């Protein structure tokens, strides 16, 4: 049986019109063997959560350079949780101060990547996170018998 590919939604929430980084990470994750859905610019948190549900993704990666990360990350996370998608990794990157990244981690957002992070590092983090989540789910699943 073929191994399931990790499904990642790369999204650009808000009014931020700078999408080069999102396109670079989308291509890098594709090159790493992941299935990537890119939403394009100017997505609302509701649009992102709806697409995540429709596409049955493992990961939502937000690219935010506008400074609105303390509003947009929590809202996307909350909407995913409300849709029963609490096991989806919310991660991403942009210009995010360390203290803000820590506060976002406290509400369940994963690692956030800032300028200088390699695409390989981001891909490895996502792969490791999904592998750990899937292993934990398999360990919790009742045995077929």
Domains of the chain with bracketed CATH: 7-136 (3.40.50.280)
55: its two tokens = 């596409």
**Residues 6 or more apart from 112 whose CB is under 8 A from it?**
69, 91, 92, 93, 94, 96, 101, 104
For residue 1, pLDDT over 50 is answered with no
Q: Which residues contact 124 (CB under 8 A, 6 or more apart)?
A: none
Give the pLDDT of residue 2: 54
User: Token pair of 94, please?
Assistant: 């942009």
User: Which pLDDT value is given to residue 110?
Assistant: 98
Cα 96 to Cα 75: distance, rounded to the nearest angstrom: 16
The DSSP output letter for 58 is: S
First to last CA, the chain: 21
pLDDT in tens, 38-93: 999 999 999 999 999 999 999 999 999 999 999 999 999 999 999 999 999 999 99
Dist CA 119 CA 135 (whole Å): 24
pTM of the predicted protein model:
0.94
Specify the pLDDT at position 131. Answer: 97
Mean pLDDT rounded to a whole number for the chain:
94
Higher pLDDT, 1 or 85: 85
Give the pLDDT confidence score for residue 141 in this predicted structure: 80
């Amino acid at each position: 049986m073929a191994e399931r590919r990790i499904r990642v939604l790369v999204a650009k929430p808000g009014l931020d019109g700078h999408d080069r980084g999102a396109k670079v990470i989308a291509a890098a994750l594709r090159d790493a063997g992941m299935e990537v859905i890119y939403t394009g610019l100017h997505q609302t948190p509701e649009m992102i959560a709806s697409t995540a549900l429709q596409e049955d993704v493992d990961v939502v990666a937000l690219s935010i350079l506008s400074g609105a990360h303390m509003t947009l990350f929590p809202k996307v996370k909350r909407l995913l949780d409300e849709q029963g998608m609490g096991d989806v990794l919310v991660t991403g990157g942009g210009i995010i101060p360390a203290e803000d990244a820590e506060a976002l981690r406290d509400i369940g957002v994963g690692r956030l990547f800032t300028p200088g992070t390699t695409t390989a590092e981001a891909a490895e983090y996502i792969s490791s996170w999904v592998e750990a989540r899937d292993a934990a789910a398999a360990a919790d699943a009742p045995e077929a018998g």
